[in-house]
Structure 1
């Protein structure tokens, strides 16, 4: 139990899983709690990690948690509290981009907006609120929220970025839109600021981490993202690990990215 206990949500795929790999590659030893909605997916990821790092002093264990279900969050807390007694690092990584599911008719617009905020902001807040008592038992508590470069209000005025360009006049508006995703991540940035304020006297170090435009399956476009030459997952994961290991302690309470601090 001398190893820092790291709980990371949404950790069986994408940036979450790559962050776990980055922690395994570290010279430091961790107890990593790999959080995911589906137990089978968590178990498979744990087996993969143990096979990939057979001699590592870092250990990993699955934790089932669904951010959209309060009971699931409560059960995950009870499990971690009983088994480990504390959490040294909480990485709120779980999230989703659901905007395309309106065009595919899998969700109505209201369902998509509600789900975007429920997963990316509301569920993240409830999980953080639930686990704060375990964070406060740490000697060096760290709280991370994985945000997005698309969340910056300041940089939304940068018209050289494709996502900020206006579609052509008239209806219908056919240009790709991630409006709900962007709004929910901007909300997460404020959520981080609130937790930084609330936990300031407890000396909990709190950040948002903006890992860059990564080649993930976010929004169901994994193959397209790779073809567009987006950033390798390992680069974003290494940034998250740097924050965990103290490299960005001078930027507490801010949105950090590889090249500095992301403007609000």
Structure 2
């Protein structure tokens, strides 16, 4: 299946890693739907990439709004009849700096999980029927190394002191969801994987990352374009398999 015949959708794509993921997928020839909850921002972002000659289209999708998700899925079904690639990129960080782990508000936990986990699951559930209509559906869940419980439990690991509880636990849950869904899809043509983009310089961390945004999109794009021999139910950063 050529990339030019594929259709992809990337959530949370009006800026940062999501925007760059759209760009890199489109650069391979994939018709890519740039999803954002704000129509104006989504259209503006899509126009920037269209100006580069890329096959990009804006679509409105708020991962915390059931009606918005349903409308987006209906739009894709009517226009394309299927979906080949879903990149669940949308994510937020609501933990308050300076507060202890036990002091983070329940509201912060709920808002974080509504977007990072429940929104991701809701989007996947709505688009899964369209992915089943693809000859080779691919789902990429954008997690983080901070979701690794193995590394958080190891005092010698590089993330041992990076305790951002609501965010970290939401990403651990994304990893767990990926394993469960991969089991369901094990005998299908769909593959689902979860990725760490790297410690990327984004607005979420006030630009304090170690790598630039284009590098941060590479793992999502690579897993979105795997062939039939590619992994299912894995947790990766570039070519490295990460510990759960």
What's the CA shift string for 1:49-96, capped at 9, x where partnerless? 111x23x4xx11111111111111111111111111110001100111
- Describe how 1:95-244 pairs up with structure 2 within 5 A: 95-100=91-96, 109-160=105-156, 163-165=159-161, 177-218=163-204, 221-223=205-207, 225-226=208-209, 230-244=210-224
Q: What is the TM-score of this pair, normalised by structure 1?
A: 0.84
- Describe how 1:68-79 pairs up with structure 2 within 5 A: 68-79=64-75
Q: Kindly tell me: are residues 45 and 10 of structure 1, through their superposed partners in 2, closer, same or farther at Cα, counting changes over 3 Å?
A: same
TM-aligned CA deviation for residue 131 of structure 1: 0.7
Q: What is the TM-score of this pair, normalised by structure 2?
A: 0.90
What's the CA shift string for 1:151-201, capped at 9, x where partnerless? 101111333456523xxxxxxxxxx74100000000000111111112222
Q: Kindly tell me: are residues 248 and 164 of structure 1, through their superposed partners in 2, closer, same or farther at Cα, counting changes over 3 Å?
A: farther
Partner secondary structure for residue 139 of structure 2:
strand
Equivalenced residues, count: 238
Whether 1:87 and 2:83 are equivalent positions in the alignment is yes
Whether 1:42 and 2:42 are equivalent positions in the alignment is yes
CA distance, structure 1, for counterparts of residue 115 and residue 234 of structure 2: 22
CA distance, structure 2, for counterparts of residue 117 and residue 142 of structure 1: 23
- Higher Cα radius of gyration: 1
CA distance, structure 2, for counterparts of residue 119 and residue 249 of structure 1: 31
Q: CA RMSD in A?
A: 2.1
Structure 1: segments with no counterpart, 5+ residues:
166-175
